[in-house]
Structure 1
Amino acid sequence: MSQVSYNCVNSVYFVGYVNIYWNHINMTSISEETIYNIIEKIALGRNLKNWRCSQEKFESIAQNYFGVIIPVVLTGEENGKLVSLKLALKLAPMDERYRVSGAVTRMFAREIYVYSVIFKKYEEIQKNVSFTSSYIMPHCYYICKEYCKEVIAMQNMCGEDFKPFTSDMFLNLEHISIALKSLAKLHALSYILKAREQTFYEEISKECLPLTIDTNKRYIDIMLDRLGKAIKKFEDSEYAPLFESLRENCAKCFEVVVSKGGSTCICHGDIWKENILFKYENGIPTSACLIDYQTTRICSPAFDTLYLIISSTDSHLRKDHYNNLLDTYYHSFDQMLKEASLNSANTYSRQMFDQDLELVWPACLITANTALWLSSGLQEEGHVRSKKVWSTPEEKERASNSYKQIIKAIIDDFSCYGYLDLKSNCFCF
C-alpha cells in the first residue's frame, strides 16, 4: 500500500516554514491531502511501486516572496530498483483572496512555462552538444497549471548539496564569479536555441514578453512607489534629482533596454544572490544553480549581468574587480557559443555588450532600489512586505542609513564607469 508519512513534528515544521515565507499575509494552510495528491501523481507518473514519502528540512532558507516551498523525499521501487527522489514542491497561494492583483498568477504561469517548455529545449541542446560545462537546471517531475492549484514539483537542489549563500549580505569574488559564469551559460543557451529553432524561439518570445507598462503595470507601479520613497530618503542631496528623473522616465528606462539594445535573449529577470544556490568543494564554490524564474523575459543580457553585479556585491569588490567580472561573464558566454559552433562576434559581440551596459544602468538601478528597499526591512505595508521587522526607531534608522549607503555606492560606481553624469542626470535614450 502506498503511503505518505506526515507526523505532528513535520506539520509543526511546515507551519513554521509558511510563517517564514508568508508572514505578511494570513495564508490558509496547505493540507496534507493536497501534498499527498501531488506526490501520488508523481509516483504514478514514474510507475513507482510501494512508494512512500517524508518531509525534509532545508538546512538554509533563502528568500522567496511569492511561493511556499515544501521539501519532500519520495522513495519507491522503479523497474525492480529502489529509487529516492529529493523534491521541492513549489505551490502558489490557494486562497483567491490573495490572488486579486493577478501578479502571483502571472508569475507562476511564467515559471511553469520555463520549466515545462524552455528548459526541456535547453536539456535537448545540452544532450546534443558536448559542452565543457553545462548549465545546471533542476529537473521538473510534475506541473499543475490549474488556477489556485498551481504547483511545480522540481528536483530539490539542496538535496544535491547546493546551498544558498547566507554568510553575508553580498557575495565575495569567488561566488560572484561562479554566478556570472552560470548566468552566461543561461544567456548562451537562449542564443543557441534562437539560431537552431527560430520559429520556436519566436513562440517563446510571445510568452516571455519584455517588462513594459503594458505587460506588467503593477510591477512598474511598485518601482515608481519605491522611487518616490527614495526621493524622500535622498531629499536635499545631490542624488535627489537623479531619482526624480528615474521616476519620471521609469517606464521608458525599461522599454529602451529592449528597443535600443544591441540584442536580446531569454533572461532571468531577477538574478541576484537570493536566487542562486552554490555547490562547494572544500569550502570553495565550484558551481551555481539559478532558481526562481517567475520574471523570465526577453531582455538585454547586459541587464541581467549588471543587475547581478550591483545587487549582489559591495562597492569595494566592484572597485577592484568590475572589469574582470565583465570579462568573466563574457568569456563563459563566448566559450559556450563556440562549443555550439556559433560566433559570438556575429551573435552578441563584446562591443555590443559593453554598449548595452551603458544603456541598461537606469533600469538596473530602479530594480536594485526596489529590491534593496525590501531586503533592508523598509517596506512595512502592502502585500509584499519586508521579512525583516524593525521594532525600534534606532533599528529603522540604521536600516535606512545602510540602504542609503548601498544605493549611493551603486550610483557613484555608475558615475566612475562613465555611465552617468550626476550633474546632468542625462539618460542616453
Structure 2
Amino acid sequence: MEEERKRFYLQNELLRKVITCNEDLQDFEVIGCTLETPKSLDGFMATMYSLEVAVCRKSHDESTYLKLLVKVMKGDDKFRRESLGLILFPNEINTYKNIVPAFKTLVANSKARIDSDSWCPRVYFAEQGNFPGYSDQFETILVMQNVLPLGFTSGPRLNLDKTHLTLMARKIAQFHACSYAMRILGSDVLDQLVAKIIPLNFVQDGKVFFESYDVVFRHSQKRLFKYFDVNPNLLSDANVRTDIETLREKYSSIPSQLMQRCLTTDDVYSVILHGDYNRNNVLFKYDGAIPTDVLMIDFQENRYGSPALDLSFFMYMNMDDNSRETLWNQVLFSYHDELFRCIQELTGLSADDSRLKPYDYENILNHLSRYFIYGAMIAVKFVPTMMASPDEINQIVHYFHNDIHAAGFEKILLEAGGEHANQRIANVMVHCSMSGYMSFLRD
C-alpha cells in the first residue's frame, strides 16, 4: 500500500510540479508515463526511479518524451538519522538548487569558455520537506534528466586510464575555479552558498559524528597495519616506516580525528567541493572506446574545504600502482592547467596579477600536499569493497543496513577483496608517504 502511494505521487503530483516549475515545459501537458525501479540503479541509501513521460504541447499538436530519474531517500527515520541521510540528501538538494545555478550565473556573466551545462545532468526539480502525497516522513526529491539515452554510462569499475583521469581532473577544476573566482572578485555569494551547506563532520563536539564511517575506518586501518606486520619489507624505507608507525600510534584507534583534520578550512584555498568525487559518481560519454566527456552526479557529501579532498579521492581510488607511477604528476598538471585558465577567465585577470599568485602551480601543490592523505585513507576504506566478490558485497550491504557493530561486519571488512586488495591499499599508503603527504605526522 505504501509503495502504491509513492508511485501514485511520482506519476501525478510530482509530474505536475516538474511541468509548472520549468519555464520551457509550461506549455506542455502530460499524456502518459511509465515508472520503473531499475535494480541496476539501486543504492545503499537512495531509491532511484526511472520515469518516462509523454508530453504534448497545448498550443499545437506536438508531443515528445521526457526521460527522467527520480532520487529519494531510503529507510526509516532511524536509518536515515544514523547514516546521516538527513545531512547528505539535503546537501545534495542544495547543490543542485543553489550552488550549481550560482556557479552557472558566474560563468555566463564572465563569458568564460566553460561549458557549465556539461557539469551534471539537467535538474527539473530539487526540493526537501514534507510531501504528504508521497509519505509521512521528511523527504528529499530530486528529478533529473536520464542521460543514459544520450550515451553517458559508467566507466571502468575501478582503474581509469589517462584519458578518463584527465577528463575528471579538468571537470572538477572548472567547478573549483568558481569558488576561487568569487573570492578574488570579493563576491558575497560564496559566503552565502557556504552558509547553506550542512557541516558533514567526522568529529563534532569532541565525539565521533559519522559513526558508520568511523567503524569502517577502524576496521580498514586494522587490516592495513596487519598486512604491514606480515610484510615488513614494504617498510624498508626509513621515512615510510616512520610515517606508518606514527599513523598507527596516533590514529589507528581514532581515524575520524585524522579525517576531521583534513576538513580544515582557510580563506585562500578552500572551495565548495563535490565531496565524493570518484569513478562511482561520474558518467562518461564515449566515441567508440575513447571517453570524450564526463558528468558529475551524486553530490551527497558536498562540503566546503580543500580541493585536495576531491582530487585525492579519485586519484587514489581509481589509479592502480602503475598509473600512480607514470601518470600522477600529469593528472595534477592537467587539473592545475584547467583551474588556472578558468580562474583567469572568470575574473578577467592577467596571469601575472598578484591576486592569482596563491593559485600558481607550486603554491597549489604545496597546499594539496597537506591534505592528500584524505584520499589515501578513503581508498584504504573503499578499495577492498570495490575489489570484493558479489557475495562479499552482499554481506557488507547487509551489515551496513542492519548492524555495523556486528562481529561479522568486521570479519568481512578484513577479508573482502582478498590478497590483491591488501597489496593495493598497502601500496597506496607507501605512495602517500613517499610523496611527502604524510610529513605533517612528524610535526
TM-score (norm 2): 0.78
Opposite residue 265 of structure 1, the aligned amino acid is: V
> Helix, strand or coil: the match of 1:152?
strand
Question: Could you tell me which residue of structure 1 aligns to residue 251 of structure 2?
Answer: 246
Question: Could you tell me which residue of structure 2 aligns to residue 108 of structure 1?
Answer: 89
C-alpha deviations, 1:359-388, integer Å up to 9, x for none? 1133222222222244344636232899xx
1:90 aligns with 2:67: no
Contact 1:220 1:251 in 2 (8 A): no
Aligned 1:321-360 pairs, distance under 5 A: 321-340=327-346, 341-342=348-349, 345-346=356-357, 348-360=359-371
CA spacing shift, 1:103–1:57, aligned 2, 3 Å: closer
CA spacing shift, 1:75–1:410, aligned 2, 3 Å: same
Opposite residue 142 of structure 1, the aligned amino acid is: F
Contact 1:254 1:363 in 2 (8 A): no
Q: Percent same amino acid among aligned pairs?
A: 18
The partner residue of 1:156 within 146, 166, 180 is: 146
> Helix, strand or coil: the match of 2:286?
strand
C-alpha deviations, 1:36-90, integer Å up to 9, x for none? 13223213443322432224687x9478422111122223123534343221101
Opposite residue 32 of structure 1, the aligned amino acid is: R
**TM-superposed deviation, 1:112:** 0.6
Opposite residue 326 of structure 1, the aligned amino acid is: L
1:307 aligns with 2:313: yes
Question: Could you tell me which residue of structure 2 aligns to residue 427 of structure 1?
Answer: 441
Contact 1:262 1:353 in 2 (8 A): no
The partner residue of 1:76 within 47, 52, 55 is: 55
1:120 aligns with 2:138: no
The partner residue of 1:294 within 300, 304, 312 is: 300
Contact 2:160 2:318 in 1 (8 A): yes
Whole-Å Cα distance in 2 between the matches of residues 102 and 296 of structure 1?
15
Aligned 1:368-387 pairs, distance under 5 A: 368-377=379-388, 379=396, 381-383=399-401
CA spacing shift, 1:369–1:62, aligned 2, 3 Å: farther
Question: Could you tell me which residue of structure 2 aligns to residue 408 of structure 1?
Answer: 426
Opposite residue 144 of structure 2, the aligned amino acid is: M
Opposite residue 17 of structure 2, the aligned amino acid is: K
Whole-Å Cα distance in 2 between the matches of residues 71 and 221 of structure 1?
29
Whole-Å Cα distance in 1 between the matches of residues 5 and 424 of structure 2?
38
Opposite residue 331 of structure 1, the aligned amino acid is: D
Whole-Å Cα distance in 2 between the matches of residues 186 and 105 of structure 1?
25
CA spacing shift, 1:160–1:149, aligned 2, 3 Å: same
Whole-Å Cα distance in 2 between the matches of residues 38 and 184 of structure 1?
34
**TM-superposed deviation, 1:156:** 1.7
Contact 1:92 1:148 in 2 (8 A): no
> Helix, strand or coil: the match of 1:31?
helix
Whole-Å Cα distance in 2 between the matches of residues 89 and 128 of structure 1?
31
**TM-superposed deviation, 1:313:** 1.2
C-alpha deviations, 1:171-213, integer Å up to 9, x for none? 1111111111111111112222334463221122223246451
C-alpha deviations, 1:321-347, integer Å up to 9, x for none? 111111011111111112222457345
> Helix, strand or coil: the match of 1:171?
coil
Whole-Å Cα distance in 1 between the matches of residues 263 and 51 of structure 2?
40
CA spacing shift, 1:30–1:360, aligned 2, 3 Å: farther
Aligned 1:226-237 pairs, distance under 5 A: 226-235=217-226, 236-237=229-230
**TM-superposed deviation, 1:317:** 0.9
C-alpha deviations, 1:389-414, integer Å up to 9, x for none? x9xx9999571322211111211222
Aligned 1:126-165 pairs, distance under 5 A: 126-135=107-116, 136-146=119-129, 147-165=137-155
Opposite residue 178 of structure 1, the aligned amino acid is: L
> Helix, strand or coil: the match of 1:412?
helix
CA spacing shift, 1:56–1:224, aligned 2, 3 Å: closer
1:35 aligns with 2:10: yes
Paired residues, number? 392
C-alpha deviations, 1:274-299, integer Å up to 9, x for none? 01101112321111111110111111
The partner residue of 2:214 within 223, 239, 242 is: 223
Whole-Å Cα distance in 1 between the matches of residues 143 and 17 of structure 2?
10
Contact 2:158 2:386 in 1 (8 A): no
Aligned 1:158-177 pairs, distance under 5 A: 158-166=148-156, 168-177=157-166
Whole-Å Cα distance in 2 between the matches of residues 395 and 125 of structure 1?
44
Whole-Å Cα distance in 1 between the matches of residues 16 and 342 of structure 2?
39
Question: Could you tell me which residue of structure 2 aligns to residue 263 of structure 1?
Answer: 269
Question: Could you tell me which residue of structure 2 aligns to residue 13 of structure 1?
Answer: none
Opposite residue 9 of structure 2, the aligned amino acid is: T
Contact 1:211 1:297 in 2 (8 A): no
Contact 1:231 1:244 in 2 (8 A): no
TM-score (norm 1): 0.80
The partner residue of 1:200 within 189, 208, 225 is: 189
Gaps of 5+ in 2: 130-136, 236-243
Whole-Å Cα distance in 1 between the matches of residues 256 and 79 of structure 2?
27
Opposite residue 403 of structure 1, the aligned amino acid is: A
Contact 1:264 1:301 in 2 (8 A): yes
Contact 1:257 1:299 in 2 (8 A): yes
Which stretch shows the higher mean deviation, 103-112 or 194-203? 194-203
Which stretch shows the higher mean deviation, 279-288 or 341-350? 341-350
C-alpha deviations, 1:111-170, integer Å up to 9, x for none? 01001111111222233333334232222211231253321011222232211114x421
Contact 1:93 1:148 in 2 (8 A): no
CA spacing shift, 1:221–1:283, aligned 2, 3 Å: closer
Whole-Å Cα distance in 2 between the matches of residues 309 and 229 of structure 1?
19
